[in-house]
Amino acid sequence: MAASCLALLLPPLLLLLLLLLLLGAEAAWKRRSRGRAAPHVAVVVLGDVGRSPRMQYHALSLASHGFFVTLLGYCDSKPHDELLQNEKIQIVSLTELKRFAVGPHILQYGVKVVFQAVHLMWKLMWRQPAAYIFLQNPPGLPAIAVCWFVGCLCGSKLVIDWHNYGYSIMALVHGPSHPLVLLAKWYEKLFGRLSYLNLCVTKAMQEDLAENWGIRAVTVYDKPASFFRETPLDVQHQLFVKLGRTYPAFRACSESSDPAVERSAFTQRDLQSGLVTRPRGRPALLVSSTSWTEDEDFSILLAALEKFEQLLLNGESLPPLVCVITGSADLGVSLHTSSSGLDLPMKVVDMFGCCLPVCAASFRCLHELVKHEENGLVFRDAEELAAQLQMLFFKFPDPAGKLSLFRKNLQGSEPLCWEESWRHTVLPLLVDT
């Protein structure tokens, strides 16, 4: 059944691909013969643009330095407002094949890859020729090969931004010896070497690409965008009051006896002076964002919270703890461990941008971002995380405690934001435009 379905589907798909190549080559030749246009860059994400902050930042940085940018990807969630309002950035929506469910999974996957290749090639061919094609990897199958081929036809230089290895993510589901995983690794290694320029997110990945893949890459660390900053207390109060209308955990434990005071669980505002303060005995607020992927074990946090609750019931001097998935908080938790051990959690970058201390799950290159006992703590299991929560929240809020110290260290560090870092590391590499 699978073989017959594949036999029926492949000929028309290959014919369509050949037709696209002929038409695209003709169009590319005509565009190139007209002379060089204004500098243009295509930024490609074979995923949701709104959940790809690093590629959005690339687009914004390119636009701020005079490039016209076409950002291609799936438009499932809303990108940053800065991106939508920038006149030099055009977002082109890619179509995702979601409902093809004929035959076994291997056939479905094959058809999806062929469709993505044809569709992406079509979208790239019929746009203004780009000086560079910036591509996020993963996912790189089939995008690396398609972008390289289009670059050959249109004279574009392929820039791969290595966030991780696609095969390592597949291995979490199928196992490292699965034929699809081995094929994906061979594909990434082969086509990754054909790029003009390679960027990566850690020095550990830079070394791994050089030693095991024969690829020279430039490390461009994730940095918080300029709009990530510590939230003013009055804005926090507005948010908590708003959330309290829907979620009881954000409401004050009891109604205020003073009608001139507006209270939430974490803040209170004098309605006459407008002054916002934090009340004594307030709960602590813990935040942990997640992508719900295989390399994030949320059971570690849940087990640690159960141990924390037991300590509270045993009479320890600890505050009630409210845990949310996003928002202003006293402490952040990262459970990301990386399928390859070579990338860093973007959530921690953003938390540090807001001067939020972090407890982070340990893995190979985490030290490049989280400095243990300086801007946060590193844990290996639920027992260690529970002990850290107990230590950080003992006699909370304590101005002389470790939590306050970590926050002060972050406030005083003044690290480079994304735009400054990009200008120093990436811009000098784009020498031909």
Please state the separation of Cα 236 from the chain's center in Å. 24
Of 332, 318, 414, the C-alpha closest to 378 is 332
DSSP secondary structure letters along 131-155: SEEEEEESS-TTHHHHHHHHHHHHT
Total number of domains in the chain: 2
Q: Are residues 344 and 322 in the same domain?
A: yes
Q: Are residues 202 and 79 in the same domain?
A: yes
Beta strands across the sheet bearing 376-379: 321-324, 284-287, 331-334, 358-361, 376-379
Q: Are residues 200 and 326 in the same domain?
A: no
Q: Is residue 6 part of a domain?
A: no
Of 150, 149, 144, 196, the C-alpha closest to 165 is 144
Q: Is residue 152 part of a domain?
A: yes
Q: Is residue 370 part of a domain?
A: yes
Packing angle, helices 402-413 and 382-392, rounded to 10: 90
Residue appearing with tokens 């438009």: 75
Please list the pLDDT of the chain residue by residue as tens digits (433 residues): 444 444 444 455 555 555 555 555 555 554 554 444 558 999 999 999 988 999 999 999 999 999 999 999 999 888 988 999 999 999 999 988 776 667 777 777 788 888 889 899 989 988 888 999 999 999 888 999 999 999 998 889 999 999 999 999 888 888 889 988 999 999 999 999 999 999 999 999 999 999 999 999 999 998 887 777 788 899 999 999 998 888 888 888 776 667 888 999 999 999 889 899 998 888 988 887 766 666 677 788 889 989 999 998 898 888 888 887 665 778 999 988 888 888 888 888 888 888 889 999 999 899 999 999 999 999 999 999 999 999 999 888 888 889 999 989 988 876 678 888 899 999 999 865 4
Which tokens hold the place of 292? 């719900």
Instruction: Count CA within 13 A, CB hemisphere, residue 39.
Output: 12
Which tokens hold the place of 188? 């990434």
Dist CA 215 CA 370 (whole Å): 27
Q: Are residues 203 and 298 in the same domain?
A: no
Q: Are residues 426 and 356 in the same domain?
A: no
Which pLDDT does position 398 carry in this prediction?
Answer: 82
Which pLDDT does position 293 carry in this prediction?
Answer: 65
Q: Are residues 117 and 148 in the same domain?
A: yes
Residue appearing with tokens 């811009």: 427
Q: Is residue 29 part of a domain?
A: no
Residue appearing with tokens 């939508």: 84
Q: Are residues 297 and 354 in the same domain?
A: yes
Which pLDDT does position 74 carry in this prediction?
Answer: 93
Question: Using the 8-state DSSP alphabet, how is residue 25 labeled?
Answer: H
Beta strands across the sheet bearing 268-270: 261-263, 268-270, 276-277
Please state the separation of Cα 255 from the chain's center in Å. 40
Q: Domain of 192?
A: 40-46+62-96+107-223+420-432
| β-strand partners of 297 | none
Which tokens hold the place of 139? 């996912």
Q: Are residues 84 and 200 in the same domain?
A: yes
